[in-house]
Structure 1
Amino acid sequence: MNIPLGEKVTLDIVTLFHQYSGDDGTIDMPGPVNLMMENFPNFLSGCEKSDTDYLSNALEKKDDNKDKKVNYSEFLSLLGDTAIDYHKIMHGVAPCSGGSQ
């Protein structure tokens, strides 16, 4: 079966989250840092702030309920910021300008 690109990308995002999340549907720290470093190395290599501190700060801002875990909604928000940065890079803006952070 030929899966349309939009559906494939969405299913891949769900699968990515579930590769790192536990039974409670969250990713405990430092799992989100590992997820980003393992799955976005090219993006992060373009950041002057691509170390763990940059990621930890970004993730802390996304942890709305401050439980030191990332739920699916918080993960999507982080992923959205990453996508915004990718879009900005395509238009000549420096990498890791922060999305909506």
Structure 2
Amino acid sequence: TLPSSGFLKAKMSILPREKVMLDIVVMFHQYSGYDGMIDMPGLVNLMKENFSNFLRGCEKSDTDYLCTAFEKKDENKDKKINYSEFLSLLGDVAIDYHKIMHGAVLCFGGN
């Protein structure tokens, strides 16, 4: 379910792309802790439960791949990723989806 806010109450209906953005926020909060951060086990669960086809398609379903992604995005090295770091990780995933749609086999943004 989407969170209740003034933005949502003001809208008669939520446009499809707005729903995508709100779903990203909800997904983050489903896997983050009480501190609003995602730890490594939370990221593993999030990725495997929401992006399993991506992980399999890239042959990157192992924990080592996710550990590397986590460490790369954990900019302040506090063993947790905040929402901004999470969006950066999703950006890399989106780049890979785009490359895959165009026939590339590289994974995780090629970075």
Settle same-fold status: TM greater than 0.5: yes
Q: Is this contact kept in 2: 1:60–1:66, CA < 8 A?
A: yes
Q: Is this contact kept in 2: 1:82–1:99, CA < 8 A?
A: yes
1:16 aligns with 2:6: no
Gaps of at least 5 residues in structure 1 are none
Kindly state the Cα deviation for residue 10 of structure 1 after the two structures are TM-superposed: 0.5
Aligned ranges 1:4-83 → 2 under 5 Å: 4-83=15-94
Q: Is this contact kept in 1: 2:52–2:61, CA < 8 A?
A: no
Aligned residues: 100
**Whole-Å separation in 2 of the counterparts to 1:49 and 1:100:** 13
Q: Is this contact kept in 2: 1:43–1:95, CA < 8 A?
A: no
Q: Which amino acid aligns with 1:15?
A: V
For 1:60-86, what per-residue CA distance to the aligned partner results, in whole angstroms no more than 9, with x for missing partners? 100000000011001000000000000
User: Runs of at least 4 residues of structure 1 off by over 2 A?
Assistant: none
The equivalent position to 1:99 in structure 2, one of 100, 106, 109, is 109
Gaps of at least 5 residues in structure 2 are 1-11
Compare relative contact order (CA 8 Å, sep 6+) and give the higher one, 1 or 2.
Answer: 1
Structure whose residues are more often helix by fraction: 2
**Whole-Å separation in 2 of the counterparts to 1:15 and 1:90:** 26
Identity %: 75
Q: Which amino acid aligns with 1:73?
A: S
